[in-house]
Structure 1
Amino acid sequence: MDRRTFSGLALGSALVGPGLSEALAQAKPGPKVLRYAFPVAETGFDPVQVSDTYSRTVTDHIFEGLYQYDYLARPYKVKPCLADGMPEVSEDFRTWTIRLKRGVFFAQDAAFKGQRREVVAQDFVYAFKRYYDPKTKSPNFPTLREAGILGLEALREAALKSQRFDYDAPVEGLQALDSHTLRIKLAAPRPRFLYYLAAGDIYGAVAREVVEHYGDNIMAHPVGTGPFKLVIWRRGSLIVLERNPDYREAYFDAEPNADDEEGQAWLKQLKGRRLPIIDRVEVSIIEESQPRWLAFLNRQFDLVAVPLEFSSVAVPQGRLAPNLAKQGVRLGRQLLPDRVLYYFNMEDPVVGGYTPERVALRRAIGLATDLAAEIRLVRRDQAIPAQTMVAPYTWGYDPKLKTENSDYDLARAKALLDLYGWTDRDGDGWREQPDGSPLVLEYASQPDAISRSMDEVWKKNMDALGIRVDIKLGKWPEQLKAARAGKLQIWLLAYTATNPDVQDALDILFGPSSGAQNLARFKLDAYDEVCRRMQALPDGPERLALLRQAQKLVLAYAPHKYTVHRIANDLTHRHLVGYRRPAFGRQFWHYVDIEPKAADRT
């Protein structure tokens, strides 16, 4: 604090008099507010309807599942959330019995007509049933369907015929044995069903009264048992959540590894603190990188994932820049459990289909995609090449595996197109389709700086291959809506693993998920059979052999072109205490603390 500021405060105290001065000195500190930004707009906050990372980040702090991931344990540890202990599981992994904690209440809402509403087992019965209701059109329905909860499929079939879903109809596989005991019975063994139960952002407790009260507007009225509640939502602009005053009595605890110095330090500093530690979260939607970066530098935001354009300034050679270090900025750097990919719409008349010439086109496009240039020029070396759909840290990932997916071979790509008739018939320098009709790729993108840079590199790749590209710009939520409707031909997007298993990565090409998670609309019986067999097997050599088979099928038919696994560089100001990017899931808001910011100005 400089002398002028001190003198001003002293003069102010003299003017207001000793009584008021003493009152001001004893005033309570202001609320603790976490401020940062999403680079992409959200879609809404009804768990059954959302699939994007940003909406699910919000729902992960409003809704709670039966289980959750330990905040500091690495690589991961699943522990109870609303469940009172770990589940009782039958030897064949088909029957799961879970007891709920008592005295857990939903946040107060008009739907409850002034009454406190305790969470009961029936709330989970209702939440799971909603995925089978055709009216919800849940993008996650195909994934849950493969879990095979007995009786729900028949309930859905009846609803398709009657146009009414009977939520009161009993089903064998989903029963509330009493008010606080849930039993789930599955049609086949599911050794990793626990990961479904740990996805509170989409499979958390939902009150039927709330859904029926808000009807078609439920996306704007999330009501859960979590540490925060939504108080302001300006679509695509601002999301504000505040401490849920009805949140149960919970305290910070975690299990970092013994050799995890940072994790052990956070545990020592925060252990035993009542959750949530902070009072309010304000999330702005800022799609352009520069204003996000400048807002962090100006301390308007407490946290930022370093935009790629500024990575060489913020983290040269992967180390925190000295000027930022002097300000007390912290760096959290890690390879993400994700994969970035181009998907091809397999129902598109140009790039889709399973005939040899269409497969050759997709594989040639993949071979002509210069990943090294993308990583160097656009991603500023903040990524590594992807070999298959399997993300780092998930089961079956092999960092030593090398496949054709990462090859850049323009000569081979051209030869492949020539062999299958994708040639320049009229001599204008551009290739035509085998039947002589024009060949133009329609590539969907977004109007932000990084996307523009990515578009330029990819278009240059296609120019070298002799293929014209028409770039279709649109906001991310609109592109997602078009993708689900099958209206996009090619789109670049990223999928982040939400649990430690590989099955989610397989699901984005699973035939029954077509139009939902499977935006490519890939349908191959041999691949689907491998996925189903993997679901039932415990982890081990047999399951791993099936995974390798699935990887080979995807490489052969090329519905996806995997590009990279990204490296995240998270910067935080020193007043933000306890932040660590979650290993799986997206929960961290209620685990962090905001200390007085005066120290940041010294």
Structure 2
Amino acid sequence: MTHAPRRRDLLKLSAAGLAWPALGTAAASAADAPKTLRYAFRVAETGFDPPQVSDLYSLTITAHIFEALYGYDYLAEPVKIKPLTAAALPEVSADYKTWTIRLRPGIFFAEDEAFGGRRRELVAEDYVYSFKRFADPKVKSPQWNVVDEWGVLGLAELRRAALASQKPFDYDRAIEGLRALDRYTLQIRLAKPRPRLLEPLARCDLFGALAREVVERYGSDIMAHPVGTGPFRLAQWRRSSLITLEKNPGFREMLYEAEPAAGDAEGQALLARFKGRRLPMVDRVEVSIIEEDQPRWLSFLNGEHDLLERLPNDYVDIALPHGKLAPNLAKRGLQLHRTLGAECTFTTFNMEDPLLGGYTPERVALRRAIGLGLDVDREIGQIRHGQAIRAQSLVAPHTNGYRPDYRSEMGDYDLARARALLDLYGYRDRDGDGWREQPDGAPLVVEIATQPDAQSRQYDELWQRNFAAVGLKTRFKQAKWPEQLKAVRAGKFSVWYLADTANVPDGQLMLQRLYGPQSGSRNLSRFRNAAFDAIYERMQQLPDGPEREALFIEAKRLQAVWMPVKSHVHRILNDVSQPWLIGYRRPLFRYEFWQYLDIAARPQ
């Protein structure tokens, strides 16, 4: 499998070194106290049933409770997938259509009343059941589109049967594509080749095993009762306020093992310190919900939290002058963890909108002119305080398909070309009021979906200036983010700005946002283009290599030509940790990392 350059090659970081506090008297006095990791989410969770959730924060929790068949080496770069509950890497047929996976015996679910006081061993049938839940119409999984693209034989038909009959989903009906060959052997059979199926099978957040007894016992309340085989279990949940997890006492013996690159000094130091330690190393994790930047920042500075994930942009100039920790923070022993994120921010246009949508030359010209008129460099400098780089496509850094030297019109800011395009296709100011009209003389007002928060207001001001610079009048429609998402999924919008993070090492998943059959789900723009869809489907079936890389280029060019989505930036992520938090490294393509952390003595 080919990958983009390592993170340290994409972003040159300051050498902060590894400074760990010595364990002294304070550590000894607190020896019997549980080690507790404390930090804050910026947005509230929704629940903890993997098929029902799609937000980053809920998935961070599920990733630590449930276990997929495979996982990621914590320190390897480029990333490396290794067995987790599986006994070995899968046996894959030459045509990539049949995947046979043998589970490791002796793995047990956390204790729960649903098991009637018995220890419940993980078996292959648990994964059959868990994958089927994504297809159950009653579950209403926002992730069904992801599983559907695997092409599991018989799964979509089982879903259609439930929809047609209005009867409960038949979990007991055998299908060709999902079978437990014996107690510990799972077989997945696909309609078409899927050379990279291993990557989603390594997602603990979504594709960990659930026990049928637990789901049936808790029914509609399953979001509050996650029971998995992972290193942690849910101990307390105050919705939108506090989530507490504790070490799963029945978790099997798992030792700290990793394969950092030979030249990765930080990774080698972590391995030397922790190799052979039993996981998890912390006893509890307490996650607060603090939506406002200032109190979250102050809580961290006051030592109430061990990790500040994603330093708010408004504090970058204070905390990170010239990309390094401010001297007063460095003196306190704080550690900076800085990386170019595997993500992309973008503007999506509704291709069914009567003003901006469509495929006629004048509509394409309008979208391309808007793209050329968006001053992304000012966005990076003023709003993001330099913590981003320009994006040339949707494909995210660290994924295969991403090339740092690729350039396209997607990354251009050119007011002269934008104005010329609008003039050429009839978008002119006919009445002299300074605003352009549509080619037929009708009014032209671009409605932009936005949110009522401080950062969104900064974007609104920049966008208003950008649109005005090319003669386009704007109107902003405010609503909270979940409400905007609901409206966008229903096609009730014109323009919206959002972000996406790559959850697998393959860059094609980001291109799913332009794939016709995903319209209304991942493809929020509702873009439909036969040439793009053909490229996308061909890419799905090809193994990694030059032919597939060439198709990535073609797909990126089609995005720039039709402009259903305008890519903006890839964000630089700045995490800051306290000196007593040991072992943190921002994970790529996964959310689980708590089990690899240790807590030394906090100041008394």
TM-score (norm 2): 0.92
Mapping 1:252-401, distance limit 5 Å:
252-304=256-308, 305-401=310-406
Mapping 1:116-131, distance limit 5 Å:
116-131=119-134
Q: Tell me how far 1:26 sits from its aligned partner.
A: 7.5
More moved, 311-320 vs 576-585: 311-320
- What does the per-residue CA deviation read over 1:434-468, in whole Å, with 9 as the maximum and x for residues that have no partner? 34433322222233332222222122111222222
Gaps of 5+ in 2: 1-27
* Corresponding position of 2:596: 591
Q: Tell me how far 1:407 sits from its aligned partner.
A: 0.7
Q: 1:108 aligns with which of 108, 111, 126?
A: 111
- Code of the residue aligned with 2:105 in structure 1: it is R
Q: CA distance change for structure 1 residues 588 and 146 in 2, over 3 Å: closer, same or farther?
A: same
Q: 1:510 aligns with which of 484, 494, 515?
A: 515
- Code of the residue aligned with 1:546 in structure 2: it is L
- What does the per-residue CA deviation read over 1:506-560, in whole Å, with 9 as the maximum and x for residues that have no partner? 1122222222222222222221111111011011111112111111111111111
Q: 1:558 aligns with which of 557, 563, 572?
A: 563
- Code of the residue aligned with 1:325 in structure 2: it is A
Matched position secondary structure for 1:417: helix
- What does the per-residue CA deviation read over 1:408-433, in whole Å, with 9 as the maximum and x for residues that have no partner? 11122122222223333443322333
- Asked if residue 170 in structure 1 is aligned to residue 171 in structure 2, the reply is no
- Aligned identity (percent) is 60
Contact 1:497 1:504 in 2 (8 A): yes
- What does the per-residue CA deviation read over 1:103-161, in whole Å, with 9 as the maximum and x for residues that have no partner? 21222233333332211111111111112222323222222222111111221221221
- Code of the residue aligned with 1:360 in structure 2: it is A
Q: CA distance change for structure 1 residues 35 and 446 in 2, over 3 Å: closer, same or farther?
A: farther
Q: CA distance change for structure 1 residues 375 and 221 in 2, over 3 Å: closer, same or farther?
A: same
Q: Distance in 2 between matches of 1:479 and 1:109?
A: 38
Q: Tell me how far 1:479 sits from its aligned partner.
A: 2.6
Q: Distance in 2 between matches of 1:26 and 1:52?
A: 40
Q: Distance in 2 between matches of 1:231 and 1:475?
A: 30
Q: Distance in 2 between matches of 1:471 and 1:236?
A: 28
Q: Distance in 2 between matches of 1:402 and 1:77?
A: 29
Q: Tell me how far 1:28 sits from its aligned partner.
A: 5.3
Contact 2:342 2:398 in 1 (8 A): yes
Mapping 1:106-255, distance limit 5 Å:
106-164=109-167, 165-255=169-259
- What does the per-residue CA deviation read over 1:238-262, in whole Å, with 9 as the maximum and x for residues that have no partner? 3222222222221211111122111
- Code of the residue aligned with 1:114 in structure 2: it is G
Q: Which runs of 4+ in 1 moved over 4 A?
A: 25-28
Gaps of 5+ in 1: 1-24
* Corresponding position of 1:36: 39
Q: Distance in 1 between matches of 2:397 and 2:495?
A: 25
RMSD: 1.8
Q: Distance in 2 between matches of 1:482 and 1:417?
A: 29
- What does the per-residue CA deviation read over 1:280-324, in whole Å, with 9 as the maximum and x for residues that have no partner? 212222222222111111111111121111112211111121111
Contact 1:296 1:302 in 2 (8 A): yes
Q: Tell me how far 1:81 sits from its aligned partner.
A: 0.6
Q: Distance in 1 between matches of 2:290 and 2:485?
A: 18
Q: 2:587 aligns with which of 577, 582, 589?
A: 582
Q: Tell me how far 1:339 sits from its aligned partner.
A: 0.8
- Code of the residue aligned with 2:375 in structure 1: it is D
Q: Distance in 2 between matches of 1:297 and 1:445?
A: 31
Q: Distance in 2 between matches of 1:488 and 1:233?
A: 35
Contact 1:288 1:449 in 2 (8 A): no
- Code of the residue aligned with 1:93 in structure 2: it is Y
Matched position secondary structure for 2:531: helix
- Asked if residue 57 in structure 1 is aligned to residue 60 in structure 2, the reply is yes
Q: Distance in 2 between matches of 1:425 and 1:282?
A: 61
- What does the per-residue CA deviation read over 1:358-391, in whole Å, with 9 as the maximum and x for residues that have no partner? 2222111111100111111111111110001111
Q: Distance in 2 between matches of 1:73 and 1:334?
A: 15
Q: Tell me how far 1:356 sits from its aligned partner.
A: 2.0
Contact 1:287 1:448 in 2 (8 A): no
Contact 1:42 1:477 in 2 (8 A): no
Contact 2:408 2:557 in 1 (8 A): no
Contact 2:154 2:176 in 1 (8 A): yes
Q: Distance in 2 between matches of 1:320 and 1:190?
A: 44
- Code of the residue aligned with 1:60 in structure 2: it is A
Contact 2:243 2:288 in 1 (8 A): yes
- What does the per-residue CA deviation read over 1:318-338, in whole Å, with 9 as the maximum and x for residues that have no partner? 112111111111111111111
Q: Would you say how many aligned residue pairs link Structure 1 and Structure 2?
A: 575
